[in-house]
A = this chain, B = another copy of it.
Amino acid sequence: MRTAYHHQLDELSVQLGEMCGLANEAMRGATKALLEADLDATERVIREHDRMVVMRGRAEREAFALLALQQPVAGELRAIFGAIQIIADIERMDALAVHVAKIARREHPNRALPDNVRACFADMAKVAIALGDNAKQVLMSHDPERAARLREQDDAMDELYRQLFSVLLDQNWTDNIPAAVDAALLGRFYERFADHAVEVGRRVIFMVSGDLPEQDDVSTY
Interface residues of A (CB under 8 A from B): 49, 53, 57, 60, 63-64, 67-68, 71, 73-74, 77-78, 81, 84-85, 88, 95, 98-99, 102-103, 106, 165, 168-171, 173, 175-178, 180-181, 184-185, 188, 212, 215, 218-221
Structural contact, B185 and A177, CB atoms closer than 8 A: no
Structural contact, B177 and A212, CB atoms closer than 8 A: no
* 8 residue pairs bridging A and B, Cβ less than 8 Å apart: A49-B218, A67-B77, A68-B73, A99-B221, A171-B178, A173-B177, A180-B181, A185-B221
CA distance A177 to B221 in the complex (A): 16
Structural contact, B212 and A57, CB atoms closer than 8 A: yes
* CB < 8 Å neighbour of A178 from B67, B84, B168: B168
9 nearest A-B pairs in the assembled complex, by CB-CB distance: A71-B71, A181-B184, A169-B178, A98-B218, A177-B180, A168-B181, A95-B218, A102-B220, A84-B84
